[in-house]
Amino acid sequence: MKQDAFSPGGGAPFEVLAKESLANSQLRRNLGKATTTIRQKRAAAVGEMPDWEELREAGRALKERVMRHLDEYLLQLEESVTRAGGKVHWARDAREANRIVASIARGHAAREVVKVKSIATDETKLNEYLEREGIRAIETDLAELIIQLSGEESSHILVPAIHKNRSEIRELFLRELDAGDLSDEPTDLTNTARLYLRKKFLEAEVGISGANFAVAETGTVSVVESEGNGRMCTTLPRVLVTVMGIEKVIPAWQDFEVFMQLLPRSSTAERMNPYTSFWTGVSEGDGPQEFHLVLLDNGRTDVLADERGRQALNCIRCSACLNVCPVYERVGGHAYNSVYPGPIGAILTPQLVGIGKKGPDSLPYASSLCGACYEVCPVKINIPEVLIELRGKVVRHKQDAGEGWRSRLDPENAAMQLMARNFSDVRLYEASQKLAKAGQWPLARGGVIQRLPGRLSGWSAVRDLKPVPRQTFREWWKKERGS
């Protein structure tokens, strides 16, 4: 099984995986093209809205209210769903969620289930679990299907196959779907997928979905999508199971007014997305006759405990932050090694799995703190601030956990301690400036430093460094002004 952030070990760190991605020129080209296009479109779609900033503020305030009273809203949701004929299940972690879903599927003797994009079930690795139980889960979102057929992992929240281009997809379909004669025209490709999926929709007894929102007041669950496969998946099978993170609850039906203005423009740069499905429990003779809502915690209540960090739970998964992120643009989603990539992944993943795992602990550092994500986030999550908060937690955890880390042996820690001491006393600081001037000369050649030792070598791999000048500013000031 693949080791990712949600695996017990936590997987490999970002900087190691990023190296691989950076060397993939096809990936760099695909990503560069895709993110540049969607950025411009988003900016235009948002630019049309005179009250965009007020909407963002409203979205943020609503989500904050939900997080403050999450327990109450969830109980209210359970009551509303039950009243409407659905059944609510509470899953503390991934294992519980998977077990619940599998037992429902088994109860209906399903060998195959259709699924529509649900990141929560990627988090719990539901497909792999079902497979071990002898149940095949068919992803029906086009991009998810592509990912599933190629045996890869999603690299984007909204465009999971953003790293693949159409000729790669054509080859995949020829190989996996017996597509016969096939060009790489998008219409041809989607038609092939459509024929394959229609059959699956009509055969399946059980459908599995995620949810974008669930209304506490009415018990209405909603999926926002582009292709209509979600609509099929949530209406054709006789049994519907929705797996949803507990943070997706919203107070009232009216709140859609805010979120449905924010989400489509931020994610696909559309004024309105093509398909938005709403369902409230079961309706006799129409759609699924059995509805289960699985409410997944899996670390979320732990995140709530951190008042700054919990902003990450406000995310509506629009992926605007991925699309503007200069780091994501170059390394793509796989380097994050998590179902949640990009800036939101960098703040959500380490909090969900807990600080103290090598892979996830590296994610808050996968950012230059440029702030582009915060600027576009439709619910105003201050991602840079949370990144900094989490870096603090990572360092404090390492220092306090000991593991020889506190000792002078860790070069980063040792350097930081030394510098902190020098900065705390102006005499030490001035002495260290003199030392820096003297100490660098073995490194300098012909007026520049071209190679730095140890951990700093990454700097000098592509950049020259100007040596420390002979006179500091404060020496100049003292000479000029005498005080």
Provide the binding-site residues for ligand SF4, judged by CB under 6 A. 266, 315-321, 344, 376-379, 381
455 touches, from another protein, ligand SF4, none (C-beta below 5 to 8 Å by class): another protein
Q: Is the dihedral of CA 187, 188, 189, 191 positive or negative?
A: positive
CB of 247 to ligand SF4, least distance (A): 11
CB of 156 to ligand SF4, least distance (A): 10
Token pair of 438, please?
């003297």
321 touches, from another protein, ligand SF4, none (C-beta below 5 to 8 Å by class): ligand SF4
320 touches, from another protein, ligand SF4, none (C-beta below 5 to 8 Å by class): ligand SF4
318 touches, from ligand SF4, another protein, none (C-beta below 5 to 8 Å by class): ligand SF4
Q: How far apart are CA 27 and CA 135, in angstroms?
A: 33
Closer by beta carbon to ligand SF4, 291 or else 374: 374
Contact 126, 135 (CB under 8 A): no
CB of 13 to ligand SF4, least distance (A): 22
Closer by beta carbon to ligand SF4, 154 or else 266: 266
Terminal CA-CA length for the chain: 67
CB of 336 to another protein, least distance (A): 12
Closer by beta carbon to ligand SF4, 91 or else 379: 379
CB of 404 to another protein, least distance (A): 17
187 touches, from ligand SF4, another protein, none (C-beta below 5 to 8 Å by class): none
Contact 76, 69 (CB under 8 A): no
317 touches, from ligand SF4, another protein, none (C-beta below 5 to 8 Å by class): ligand SF4
Give the residue from 212, 245, 294 showing the smallest Cα distance to 120.
245
Q: Tell me phi and psi for residue 447, to 5 degrees.
A: 85, -5
Closer by beta carbon to ligand SF4, 168 or else 385: 385
18 touches, from another protein, ligand SF4, none (C-beta below 5 to 8 Å by class): another protein
CB of 180 to ligand SF4, least distance (A): 39
Q: Which residue reads 């990454």 in tokens?
A: 458
HEC sequence for 340-397: CCHHHHHHHHHHHHCCCCHHHHHHHHCCCCCCHHHHHCCCCCCHHHHHHHHHHHHHHH
Closer by beta carbon to another protein, 213 or else 328: 328
Contact 68, 264 (CB under 8 A): no
Q: How far apart are CA 422 and CA 280, in angstroms?
A: 63
> How many Å is the Cα radius of gyration of the chain?
26
DSSP H or E segment with residue 207 = strand 206-209
Contacts with 8 (C-beta within 8 Å, 6 or more apart), sequence order: none
Closer by beta carbon to another protein, 107 or else 458: 458
Contact 246, 297 (CB under 8 A): yes
User: Residues interacting with another protein, by CB under 8 A?
Assistant: 14-15, 18-19, 22, 308, 326-327, 330-331, 364-372, 374-375, 384-385, 388-389, 391-396, 416-417, 419-420, 422-424, 426, 429, 433, 436, 448, 450, 455-456, 458-459, 461-466, 468-469, 471-478, 481, 483
Closer by beta carbon to ligand SF4, 216 or else 379: 379
CB of 324 to ligand SF4, least distance (A): 8
83 touches, from another protein, ligand SF4, none (C-beta below 5 to 8 Å by class): none
Q: How far apart are CA 244 and CA 123, in angstroms?
A: 11
